[in-house]
Chain A
Amino acid sequence: MGEGAKLNARGFGLAVPLLAVSFAMAAVNWTAVSKLWATLILITYGSVLVNVGVHYVPVGGAPAAMATATGVGTGTTQLAAGSGLTGLITAAAMSDKPFSVILANGAAGAAVMMAITMLVGNLIYVYGVGCPPCSAKVDRDPLTGWDQEPYVTPGTEGHGIPTVSFVSGIFGGLLGGTGGAMTYFALYKVLGMSAALAGVLAMGFFYANAVLASYNIGGTIEGYHDPKFTRVPRAAACSIAFGIVASIIAYVMSTYV
């Protein structure tokens, strides 16, 4: 319980400032800054947001598809990409609106995809497979305080998406969607690419960060209460390196090609 609560606080403590800084950035008029700096900051910060966001998404990989591990039954990259790219579609629908609107729509679009997918996933675990959602990494759900261990099928590491993982997944959607929308904004508005090219590049950058996060997670993670969540700083460092390279390539592409 103690360890779970600490990680839980750390998770919240990370997600809230990241989202707050994103929206504080939204208040600044980026087109006034030098194009290169704006691109550099937006794409690098967007990459970090996507990478950290993927760590929040509860995925169990192939084992979860057999109800052998807690989380959504698919790969880390796949689910994060599905939600982040839904966010990209909702963000792009607001292409001619201000930065904060694009950002918020991207975040909400990704969160709504995550929430509906996790809800339907739980419907299948409960009514199709017949097992209650529970986690094997913590004794009690840090949010609801419900016992977990007695509900875990012997020989498995939990199944389904318990409330704490659900909330974590929504955070993951919000962060991933914000990151994707931020990258799209940098490419579309700051660098002046066409919507289609900006969309394709944003999708590529999103996938790159999701794969980096996937390597860091190594298969399964239950959300911010999972001990693996402590690996986040390494992921952020990777994303900063990737973001700098990606933003320079994008800048050079749009300026000199």
Chain B
Amino acid sequence: MVGLTEIGLTAAMGALATIAGAFEDAESDVGSQSNPNSQVQLAPQMMNFHRYFNKAISGEPVSYMMYGAVAGTVTWVMMTKFGLPFLAAAAIGVGVNALIHMAFSTTAHLGRIASAAEFGHPIYLDVVLSHLGPIAGFGGIATFAIISLAYLQWSALKHPFPLPLLAALWGVTVGAIGSSTGDVHYGAERLYQHYPFGGGVPVAAHGNITRKAETGIRNSMDSVYFCAKFGCPLTGLCFGLVVFFSTWAGLFGQWGAVIAMLLVTLGCLIVSNRIEKWARENYGTYEDVELDEICDAV
């Protein structure tokens, strides 16, 4: 039978996952690490010089799998070999991971920007120094939340996988979700904000990213300010729901879990279909729009 304690634990895991998802997306926005990174990389070739931080260490799921595995393993060692309590061990694990994260970010950014030197693109050292803090901070909060939910699942819900493996697997999931949901807000909206709202980015406009901020020249920290209002919370919501539903369903026994998860899946399908219908009715068609009209900067 499902106890209130277990439901509370899954809810706590969902809450931690929400924090992890939101900060994972913030981290990928401040470092431009995601699929929209292709545009930041393409911009200098289109003679659009910029002050974005440009790191693409790897795909987000893989890099978050690494962060989860590194932080999880160090936490595990600190707990089992040195007898530290979980919170202290996790703090050390996340700290070690933050150093690795910053080293990867620096080499990835400098390597990528240096490759644009043949188009005359400069390396702004102040961009490197000012962005490393937020990258490590957002990444650290996300990693800490992932480790914590893996710890809850391992210690309280008795999952057979050890903590580092759970942290690595949830890292893959949070990375997949971050790059599928929140990054669309960054890539399709924030990077092309000087184009009219309400359409995809035509191929002809690729590489022509927005380079001016409200005042001065835009950098990647301005992007977080914008995306934190919509993309980041939705990413957090998505990962929170995934963790909550997949764990909560498991409390209903072997077949109850399957039925619960399939019902959630069906519910998502219905809601998505209604949203599609709403968008079609309210936004209308593009028949009167010329390609030049969209591609010309406003």
Contacts and interface: CB of A to CB of B under 8 A. Distances in A.
B273 A166 contact: yes
Contacts of B206: 66, 68
Given A108-B265, A119-B268, A79 B180 contact: yes
B275 interface: yes
Nearest to A173: B265
A114 B257 CA distance: 17
A123 B238 CA distance: 11
Interface string B214-258: 000000000000000011001101100110011101100011011
Interface in B166-197: 166, 168-170, 172-173, 175-177, 179-185, 187-189, 191-192, 197
Residue in A64, A65, A153, A195 whose Cβ sees the most chain B Cβ within 10 Å: A65
Nearest to B264: A112
B268 A115 contact: yes
Contact of B173 (A74, A82, A125): A82
Q: Give the size category of B's interface with A.
A: 35 or more
A113 B242 contact: yes
Contacts of A151: 280, 283, 285-286
B289 A85 contact: no
A81 B176 contact: yes
A65 B35 CA distance: 6
Given A62-B38, A67-B200, A117 B189 contact: no
Contacts, number: 292
A14 to B, nearest CB: 20
Given A85-B173, A131-B200, A151-B280, A109 B261 contact: yes
B116 to A, nearest CB: 18
B175 A82 contact: yes
Given A65-B188, A90-B246, A78 B272 contact: no
Nearest to B281: A132
A155 B204 contact: yes
Interface string B273-298: 10110111001011101110011000
A131 B275 CA distance: 11
B201 A156 contact: yes
Nearest to A70: B200
B238 to A, nearest CB: 4
A154 B290 contact: yes
Contact of A124 (B231, B258, B273): B231
27 contacts: A65-B183, A66-B192, A66-B200, A74-B176, A78-B60, A79-B180, A82-B180, A83-B173, A86-B242, A86-B246, A90-B261, A93-B247, A94-B254, A101-B255, A105-B258, A115-B265, A119-B272, A124-B182, A128-B184, A130-B283, A153-B286, A154-B290, A160-B276, A166-B269, A167-B269, A200-B165, A203-B169
Interface of B: 34-36, 38-39, 59-62, 157, 159-162, 165-166, 168-170, 172-173, 175-177, 179-185, 187-189, 191-192, 197-206, 230-231, 234-235, 237-238, 241-242, 245-247, 249-250, 254-255, 257-258, 261-262, 264-265, 268-269, 271-273, 275-276, 278-280, 283, 285-287, 289-291, 294-295
